[in-house]
Structure 1
Amino acid sequence: MKRPLVLCALLLLLTACSTAPDDNPEHGADRWRPRPGTAWQWQLSGRLDTSVDVPVYDIDGFDHSADTVDELHGDGRKVICYLSTGAWEDFRPDADDFPKSVLGRGNGWEGERWLDIRRTDVLEPLMAARIDMCEEKGFDAVEPDNMDGYKNRTGFPLTAAHQLRYNRLIARLAHERGLAVGLKNDLDQIPQLVDDFDFAVNEQCAQYGECKDMKPFIEADKAVFHAEYELRTSDFCPEARRLRLSSILKKYELGVWRREC
């Protein structure tokens, strides 16, 4: 029996939609996905040393040029763009773009103040511009810092729901630009956020007995880039290896120096 022309046209359209390639980068067709145990270097201060023989570098997005990213790519590295998305920094070139109404208490680092993450109307375009910068410089991923303001004294009545909404906004902005994105700390919300992020970055989970909280990322075959500052490698590396964390010992200034498990 012959099908009506309208039905045939509809079937053809549905077939085309189901077989066409997915051009939306948010769906992650080409996004980098680091796997558990991937070695890394985290350097946010001092002159960048590109000779460390690891496949992943995490460096400051503002401080480094597209040429630096290209050089690291030429050496076979993936490069993560460090940004502060939950706190304002008075030394950044876009600092004057942040209205005073969104600036809260200091976060413990000189020149930095927590942001009112409820104000996505203000912060979304500012963070989009920063992530645009990472994309334009050729970075593979974003490390958004200060993503747990709701657990701190920010000067704003932030809740867990505010944090979830904001963290997912940052993840979406990165994914829309084809970039991977890592969840920085925010351990309590890992179960809700593991599907939104491509890897995790953690500080001092061994010192505070929290490394098992990172398991959802490992079980999802996603890397956990982990750093300790005050322990000896013999204190945390055995557990880190069992959990398949990408663990290093660093100094607080996050210069070149590192010790790998």
Structure 2
Amino acid sequence: MPLMYLIPVTMLILSCCSTDTDLEEPRGNERTFPVYNQAYQENYEPDSLALIQASAENAYVLMDPFDEDFLTFGELDAVKSDGNEISAYISIGTGEEWRSDFEEMKPYLSDKQWGEWAGEYYVSRIEAGLTDIMKDRIDRAAELGFDWLEFDNMDWMFNEETRDEYNLVSGETEALAYIEELREYAVSKGIKCMSKNWRRGAENYDGVTFESGSENLNWWYSEDMQAFLDEEKPVIIVHYDEKDREGAYRAYGNYMEIYGEGISFISETRSEKGYIHFNTSP
């Protein structure tokens, strides 16, 4: 997902963090929950199914169900049995060549590969055939029993430079209608919708996930996150590239100083070469 690397004034607050070395683990308020992520990771491996099955309890568990070798129904039931809500990752702004439906998507994609992620191509033409492919994915998620869908790459059509570089044919109006149509379809299947790094056109979504890193803290428009918090919707930060556990503690604590204690948080650290999880049961 391309971060927009905006640098609002509040980023200065995050840069002035404590140098204490004996930090307590931050905890959010009663609206927060543990987050597990089997779908993606920035530098290392995502959470394994074994870890999720052993540790996740009353958590938001993000998974990638659109692979041919995905979990059986029984394995998903086991993940849900501990009070977890499971979320299906879906990229609505790109086609990924490792997906089984990639050949069907090719007529709607840019010919030029996305420079940041090998094997991904931006959606260029938003047409009924593309929407049908995405609805088939949503049907699959509903059939498997997913509680949520996390919509990635929602902002791809809203940057003029991106549209020009990749020769994207459709425009913002079509993208907004497409985002809302997919939300409405998911809701009709009994699935809640998680926006990703974005609020425009996603005001009716049920929650939001933002990604940040040690070098691009709080890059988004603060009012976008605050709007979800004000409505008491789930807000998640997936944070990358902290040196160690204390760095992750510090980042989470600083976010709570800005936005309050209603943010759920998961952080990658270089010391542990994977995610560490917060707000877990004592």
Normalised by the length of structure 1, the TM-score is 0.75
Q: Provide the residue aligned with 1:210 in structure 2.
A: 220
- Distance, in Å, in 2 between the alignment partners of 1:77 and 1:133 is 19
**Of 34, 37, 56, which residue of structure 2 is paired with 1:42?**
37
RMSD: 2.6
What residue ranges of structure 2 are gaps of 5+ in the alignment? 1-29, 40-45
Task: State the 1:111 CA deviation.
Answer: 1.1
| Paired residues, number | 220
- Measured against aligned partners, the alpha-carbon deviations of 1:136-173 in whole angstroms (never above 9, x if no partner) come to 00111111211111234543155433332221122112
Correspondence for 1:125: 132
Do structure 1's residue 258 and structure 2's residue 268 form an aligned pair?
Answer: no
Structure 1, gaps ≥5 residues long: 1-34
3-state DSSP of counterpart to 1:210: coil
1:199-256 alpha-carbon deviations (Å, 9 max, x no partner): 111111861443723011111110112111134324421233342211111269xx96
Look up the equivalent residue of 1:240 and give its one-letter code: Y
Whether 1:247 aligns to 2:265 is yes
Pairing partner for 1:176 from 173, 188, 209: 188
The CA distance in 2 between the partners of 1:52 and 1:129, in whole Å, is 31
Match of 1:224 among 228, 231, 235: 235
- Any conservation in 2 of the 1:104–1:115 contact (CA below 8 Å)? no
Larger Rg: 1 or 2? 1
Q: Which 10-residue stretch deviates more, 61-70 or 136-145?
A: 61-70
One-letter amino acid matched to 1:109: W
Q: Secondary structure at the match of 1:109?
A: coil
The alpha-carbon distance between structure 1 residues 135 and 114, as it changes in their structure 2 partners (threshold 3 A), is same
Identity %: 21
* Structure 2 residue 64 is matched with structure 1 residue 60: yes
Higher helix share: 1
Q: C-alpha separation between the residues in 2 aligned to 1:245 and 1:105?
A: 37
Measure the CA separation in 1 of the matches of 2:238 and 2:92: 20
Q: 1:180 and 1:103 mapped to 2: Cα distance?
A: 29
Using the TM superposition, give the Cα deviation of residue 181 of structure 1 relative to its aligned residue in structure 2, in angstroms.
Answer: 0.7
Look up the equivalent residue of 2:126 and give its one-letter code: R
**SS of 1:51 mapped into structure 2:** helix
- Asked which structure has the greater RCO (Cα within 8 Å, sep 6+), the reply is 2
1:105–1:210: structure 2 CA closer, same or farther, 3 Å change rule? same
1:24-173 correspondence runs (5 A): 36-44=31-39, 45=46, 47-48=48-49, 49=51, 50-54=53-57, 55-62=59-66, 63-107=70-114, 108-116=116-124, 118-150=125-157, 151=159, 152=162, 153-173=165-185
Matched residue type, 2:194: G
